[in-house]
Amino acid sequence: TLALLGVACVICAALVMPRVLPRRWLVAAFAVLLVIGAFRAPPQAGWPGEWVVIACDVGQGGAQLIRAAPGRAILVDTGPDPDALRACLASAGVSRISVLVLTHSHADHVGGLPAIAGEIPVEMVLVGSDAPAASDLEGLPETTRTSAGDSIELGPLRWTTIAAGPSARASPLADGSSAGEDAGQNDASIVGLIETGELRILVTGDLEVAGQQAVVSSGADIRADVLAVPHHGSPRQDPEFIDAVHARIALVQVGENNGYGHPASSALTMLRGSGATVFRTDQQGAIAVSADGGSAVTQR
């Protein structure tokens, strides 16, 4: 920048005092300016320093980063793809995981673990009633089983476990049929509230209707500025739960052209009807929410 300013001063002087500075000086100054401009470093990629939460673009899966300190974060789930998670961590400048939360054992939430184990220091691993297999956790610290009401202080951050299983009954569909054999695992997802001082962030794993209703019935304060939408925006959303959260920003982590029909139009309508602005990783890439809670930045 200083070099460019100096050259610009020479050019200005040459223009206003042509008798003092010969024409060849003017030509030389322009040449130097062009060379400096050609070799200037490009702008640095990544997120603004004030980001609080990032919904990583990991395809059809879930992974959220909540900033704990410069270079450190809470990581909630890993998505299915280690390479996609590595890219998200690198772009966010995260080199240490203060708390790794594994909401449940489905591959689209824990398949990215190889990007963490043995590669990035992890201080604590929280699991619920549906913990991943021991073989998936090799290279990580011993897990801590969390339960509703548990809390962790990380400087200005506070994590509170709202729910962590045991598995609830299968959530009913609109026609009264079962949501499938995985519904029990989904409803065993850890639900956590992170308070940063500026924002309240609710993470929900793959929570289904029965699990959402159980959270509402518990009386827990789940009001949040930012909601990681349950189960990638599946149609199985409870309106009382969505209204109780009353989020300003809803983050839907979903793979482009996925075979599940996520996110469902009914879920999007419900979220928007509650007052939330919806952001989707399949359309907008990774999403970072800033400290003021009123803006989000997207990155493909």
CATH code for the domain in which residue 99 is found: 3.60.15.10
Residue 43 lies in a domain: no
Residue 196 lies in a domain: yes
Residue that wins the pLDDT comparison between 291 and 272: 272
d(CA 102, CA 126): 6
Answer yes or no: do 292 and 223 share one domain.
yes
Q: Chain-wide mean pLDDT for the chain?
A: 85
**What mean pLDDT do residues 41-66 have?**
81
Alpha helices in the chain (DSSP H): 2-16, 23-38, 82-92, 107-110, 183-187, 209-218, 239-245, 265-273, 281-284
Answer yes or no: do 57 and 205 share one domain.
yes
Please check the confidence at residue 52 and state whether its pLDDT lies above 60: yes
Answer yes or no: do 34 and 141 share one domain.
no
d(CA 66, CA 157): 9
Banded pLDDT at 49 (limits 50, 70, 90) = confident
Answer yes or no: do 67 and 160 share one domain.
yes
Answer yes or no: do 60 and 6 share one domain.
no
Answer yes or no: do 110 and 175 share one domain.
yes
Answer yes or no: do 76 and 179 share one domain.
yes
Look at the chain and report how many structural domains it folds into: 2
163 - beta bridge partners?
A: 191
Banded pLDDT at 23 (limits 50, 70, 90) = low
Please tell me the predicted confidence (pLDDT) of residue 299. Answer: 77
Q: Are 300 and 285 in contact (CB under 8 A)?
A: yes
d(CA 189, CA 127): 9
Q: Is the pTM of this model over 0.75?
A: yes
Q: What percent of the chain has pLDDT over 90?
A: 72
Answer yes or no: do 103 and 57 share one domain.
yes
Please check the confidence at residue 40 and state whether its pLDDT lies above 60: no
Answer yes or no: do 151 and 259 share one domain.
yes
Answer yes or no: do 11 and 98 share one domain.
no
Q: Which domain holds residue 290?
A: 51-299
Answer yes or no: do 21 and 113 share one domain.
no
Q: Are 252 and 280 in contact (CB under 8 A)?
A: yes
Please check the confidence at residue 9 and state whether its pLDDT lies above 60: no
Q: What is the DSSP letter of 176?
A: S
Please check the confidence at residue 7 and state whether its pLDDT lies above 60: no
- 126-130, 172-176, 217-221: segment of lowest average pLDDT: 172-176
Answer yes or no: do 9 and 84 share one domain.
no
